[in-house]
Amino acid sequence: MVPLIYLVVRAGELGIDGIEAIIVRPRTAELVLTTGQVALGVAIITLVLGVGLATIVDRIRLPWPRLWWILLALPVAVPSYVAAFALLALRPETQGVLPTIMVISLTTVPYVALPTLAALNRADHSLADVARSLGASRSRAFLTITLPQVLPAAAAGCLLAVLYALSDFASPSLLRTPTLTVGVYGMFTGSLNRSHAAALGMLLVVLALFFVAVEQRARRHADHRATTVVARQVPPLELGRVGTAAAVGAVALPVVVIVGGPVATLLYRLAGGSRYAPDLADLLPAARTTLLLGIATAVLATAVALPIASLGARYRYRWIRLVEGVSYLGQALPSVIIALAVVFMSIRIVPSAYQQLPLLLFAYVIIFFPKAIGSARSAIQQVSPILGETARTLGRSAWRVGWSITLRQAWPGIASGAVLVMAATMKEVPLTLMIRPIGLQTLATELWSKTSIDAYGAAAPAALALIVVGLAPAWLLSRASRP
Q: Say how many domains are in the chain.
A: 1
HSE-CB of 285 using CA atoms within 13 angstroms: 7
Contact present, 423 and 466 (Cβ < 8 Å): no
pLDDT band at 229 (very low <50, low <70, confident <90, very high): very low
Residue range 316-354, pLDDT digits in tens: 788 888 888 788 877 777 777 888 888 888 888 888 888
Query: What's the CA gap between 263 and 116, in Å, rounded?
Result: 27
Predicted confidence band of residue 42 (pLDDT cuts 50, 70, 90): very high
Please indicate whether residue 64 or residue 298 has the higher confidence score (pLDDT).
298
Between 291 and 191, the higher pLDDT residue: 291
Report pTM. 0.77
pLDDT for 312 equals 83
Coil, helix or strand at residue 237 = strand
- CA 467, 267, 294 angle in degrees (round to 5)? 10
Domain residues for the domain of 298 are: 2-481
Q: What local confidence, expressed as pLDDT, does residue 281 receive?
A: 64
User: pLDDT tens digits, residue range 404-443?
Assistant: 777 777 777 788 788 888 888 888 877 887 788 888 888 7
Is a pLDDT exceeding 90 seen at residue 270?
Answer: no
pLDDT band at 282 (very low <50, low <70, confident <90, very high): low
361 confidence band (pLDDT: 50, 70, 90): very high
Query: Which of 167-176, 373-382, 467-476 reaches the highest mean pLDDT?
Result: 167-176
List pLDDT tens digits, range 101-120. Answer: 999 999 889 888 888 887 77
For position 454, what pLDDT does the model report?
47
Residue 309 has pLDDT above 50, yes or no: yes
Whether 168 and 80 have beta carbons less than 8 Å apart is answered as yes
Q: pLDDT for 145-157, tens place per residue? A: 777 778 888 888 8
pLDDT at residue 165 is higher than 80: yes
Model confidence at 223, in pLDDT bands (50, 70, 90)?
very low
**Residue 453: pLDDT band by 50, 70, 90 thresholds?**
very low
CB-CB neighbours of 143 under 10 Å = 12
- CATH assignment of the domain containing 476: 1.10.3720.10
Q: What's the chain's average pLDDT? A: 79
Q: Examine the pLDDT at 391 and tell me if it is beyond 90.
A: no
Give, in degrees to the nearest 5, the angle at Cα 39 between 435 and 41. Answer: 140
pLDDT, tens only, 337-347: 888 888 888 88
Q: What is the dihedral of CA 374, 46, 72, 325, to 10 degrees?
A: -10
Q: 234 pLDDT exceeds 50?
A: yes
Helices (H), 109-239: 110-122, 126-133, 138-141, 147-167, 170-174, 180-190, 194-220
Q: Which residue has the higher pLDDT, 256 or 280?
A: 256
Which percentage of the chain shows pLDDT scores above 90?
A: 7
The span from the CA of 251 to the CA of 449, in Å, is: 35
Distance CA 137, CA 146 (A): 13
- Residues of the chain with pLDDT > 70: what percent? 87
pLDDT of res. 224: 47
| Contact of 437 with 70, CB cutoff 8 Å | no
